[in-house]
């Protein structure tokens, strides 16, 4: 690789970030071909091995590899995803795929926080370490997934189940975490599981003037009360304990209500859909029993249907018994960073890694920044990107050298 001074390296990192942001890898038709071409070029310029796997046609999984001095040791994996959610151009003050940079150094684009910056931070950190002649003991893998925003079933889930993944001998993974609006950085060691429950209430139907027991509306009221009472119980826990945050409890939200076709007809069926995000410390079996009991309380012909039912996601051990955590914390201490371990409220591709028995942390090396992932005018600053590259260098030199 050619030698560059600090300004040239910084300019290159910012330009690469903006170029990546301009690729419209947005659902429902993400441009993955341009992502593959972009990262192939980056791998060549950084002298990294480059692989593309497709477990589902049109959904590439990218792997870039930097060999360590002891490649038999389990590798360190730095993961992010290429896909981004849609952005309504009329709502934004900047082109969501223009990667505009203002006078304050804010770079606006869909994916600026979720999670295109992570790939660039990893790439540029490796570039700088290699230019300085640094050798790491373990292999470093930079991976990019195609479908995290729509569940990860065709990307990370199939990747982890493949022989290609087994051959990489992954020992530890860093994945996405939340941007921090405060000084301290969030580090996630687990995440909540998502359940989508549809409750169908069937009952008496007839003219809207009749007053008889057993209508779907009566039953639905009881179901709504039970779910909303549970919601309030969890909300009370959150509000009464200042040491808790959103992911330390289970959230419940009513998202869809259906039923009825005429203003003067009692419908034969009404239904409601609830979105639950379940804390991993909760007993999942007991929660399901509760839901079924709530339906029973509402009367006959009230049935729950689990439209989505994620298994409990294992958490990664935080403490001295986990050498990866110890190494990670050593790096952040050296960098004088304040970190706070948390459970992530939502889900990421890291859950597939943890289910495979591999420790994983969610980490976004960006602080003092408003959380705008999936939001309007999503941005990070150029300074935070460059700071993140420095942080990644420090973290890699600890976790990729751990014995």
DSSP 97-110: TT-EE-TT-EEE-T
Q: What is the pLDDT of residue 216?
A: 98
56 found inside a domain: yes
Collapsing DSSP to helix, strand or coil, 203 comes out as: coil
Handedness of CA 277, 283, 285, 291 (dihedral sign): negative
Whether 154 and 72 map to the same domain: the answer is: yes
Per-residue pLDDT tens over the stretch 7-38? 999 999 999 999 999 999 999 999 999 999 99
pLDDT digits (tens, 9 = 90+) for 238-258: 999 998 988 999 999 999 999
Whether residue 155 sits in one domain with residue 82:
yes
Q: Looking at 268, 292, 309, which one is the last position of a domain? A: 309
- Mean pLDDT over residues 151-163, rounded? 97
- C-alpha R_g of the chain: 24
Q: Domain tally for the chain?
A: 2
Answer yes or no: is pLDDT of 349 > 90. yes
CATH number for the domain spanning 234: value is 3.30.70.360
Which DSSP string do the residues of 51-89 spell out, in sequence order? Answer: EEEESSTT-EEEEEEE--SSTTSPEEEEEEE--B----T
> Based on the domain organization, do 83 and 184 belong to the same domain?
yes
pLDDT at 381 over 80: yes
Confidence class of residue 133 from pLDDT cuts 50, 70 and 90?
very high
Instruction: Clarify whether residues 264 and 326 are in a common domain.
Output: no
The closest alpha carbon to 96, from 86, 104, 105, belongs to 86
Look up 289 and say whether it is catalytic. Answer: no
At residue 96 the predicted structure's pLDDT band, cuts being 50, 70 and 90, is very high
- Cβ atoms of 193 and 251 within 8 Å: the answer is no
Strands, E, within 203-315: which ranges? 206-207, 251-259, 265-266, 269-278, 302-309
| 309, 333, 354 - which closes a domain | 309
Say if residue 42 is in the same domain as residue 128: yes
94 and 40 in a common domain: yes
Provide mean pLDDT across the span 48-56: 98
Is 148 assigned a catalytic role? yes
Helix (H, G, I), strand (E, B) or coil at 212: coil
Residue given tokens 């009404």 in the structure block = 270
pLDDT at residue 75 tops 70: yes
Q: What pLDDT, on a 0 to 100 scale, did the predictor assign at position 4?
A: 86
Identify whether 21 is part of a domain: yes
Q: Is residue 210 part of a domain?
A: yes
pLDDT at 379: 98
Of 146, 176, 180, the closest CA to residue 353 belongs to 176
Catalytic pick from 114, 147, 148, 154? 148
Q: Do 298 and 369 belong to one domain?
A: no
pLDDT by residue (tens digit) across 287-346?
Answer: 999 999 999 999 999 999 999 998 998 999 999 999 999 999 999 999 999 999 999 988
Indicate whether 132 pLDDT > 90: yes
* 231 belongs to a structural domain: yes
Q: Comparing C-alpha atoms, which of 301, 342, 289, 351 is closest to residue 318?
A: 342
Q: In 3-state terms, what secondary structure has residue 269?
A: strand
Q: Are residues 318 and 302 in the same domain?
A: no
Residue 2 has a pLDDT of: 61
- Specify if 1 maps to a domain: no
Q: What's the average model confidence in pLDDT over 347-375?
A: 96
Query: Is 163 within the bounds of a domain?
Result: yes
Select from 294, 309, 324 the last residue of a domain.
309
Q: Are residues 294 and 323 in the same domain?
A: no
HSE on the CB side for 144, CA within 13 Å? 31
Identify whether residues 16 and 56 lie together within a single domain.
yes
What is the residue range of 14's domain?
6-191+314-399
Distance CA 79, CA 65 (A): 12
Kindly report the pTM of this predicted structure.
0.89
Instruction: Tell me: do 150 and 32 sit in the same domain.
Output: yes
99 and 25 fall within a common domain: yes
Residue 1, pLDDT > 90, answer no
How much is the pLDDT for 129? 98
CATH of the domain at 23: 3.40.630.10
**3: pLDDT confidence band, cut at 50, 70 and 90?**
confident
- Examine residue 386 and state whether it is found in any structural domain, yes or no: yes
């Amino acid at each position: 690789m050619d030698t560059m001074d600090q300004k040239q390296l910084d300019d290159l990192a910012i330009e690469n970030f903006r170029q990546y942001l301009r690729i419209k890898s947005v659902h429902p038709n993400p441009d993955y071909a341009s992502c593959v071409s972009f990262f192939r070029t980056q791998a060549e310029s950084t002298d990294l091995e480059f692989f593309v796997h497709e477990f589902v046609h049109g959904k590439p999984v990218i792997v870039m590899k930097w060999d360590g001095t002891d490649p038999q040791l389990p590798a360190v994996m730095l993961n992010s995803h290429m896909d981004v959610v849609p952005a309504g151009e009329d709502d934004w003050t900047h082109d969501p795929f223009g990667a505009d940079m203002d006078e304050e150094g804010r770079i606006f684009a869909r994916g600026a926080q979720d999670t295109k910056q992570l790939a660039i931070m990893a790439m540029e950190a490796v570039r700088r370490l290699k230019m300085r002649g640094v050798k790491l003991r373990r292999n470093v893998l930079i991976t990019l997934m195609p479908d995290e925003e729509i569940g990860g079933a065709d990307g990370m889930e199939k990747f982890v189940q493949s022989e290609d993944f087994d051959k990489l001998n992954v020992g530890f993974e860093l994945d996405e975490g939340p941007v921090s609006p405060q000084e301290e950085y969030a580090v996630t060691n687990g995440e909540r599981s998502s359940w989508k429950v549809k409750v169908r209430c069937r009952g008496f139907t007839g003219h809207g003037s009749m007053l008889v027991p057993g209508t779907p509306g009566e039953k639905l009221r009881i179901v709504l009360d039970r779910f909303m009472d549970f919601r309030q119980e969890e909300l009370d826990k959150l509000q009464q304990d200042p040491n808790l945050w959103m992911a330390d409890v289970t959230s419940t939200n009513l998202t869809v209500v259906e039923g009825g076709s005429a203003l003067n007809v009692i419908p034969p069926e009404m239904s409601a859909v609830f979105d639950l995000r379940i804390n991993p410390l909760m007993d999942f079996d007991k929660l399901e029993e509760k839901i079924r009991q709530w339906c029973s309380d509402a009367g006959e012909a009230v049935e729950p249907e689990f439209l989505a039912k994620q298994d409990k996601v294992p958490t990664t051990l935080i403490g001295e018994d986990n050498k990866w955590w110890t190494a990670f914390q050593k790096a952040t201490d050296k960098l004088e960073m304040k970190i706070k371990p948390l459970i992530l409220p939502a889900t990421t591709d890291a859950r597939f890694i943890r289910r495979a028995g591999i420790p994983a942390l969610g980490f976004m090396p960006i602080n003092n920044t408003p959380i705008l992932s999936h939001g309007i005018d999503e941005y990070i600053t150029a300074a935070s990107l460059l700071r993140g590259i420095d942080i990644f260098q420090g973290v890699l030199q600890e976790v990729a050298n751990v014995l």
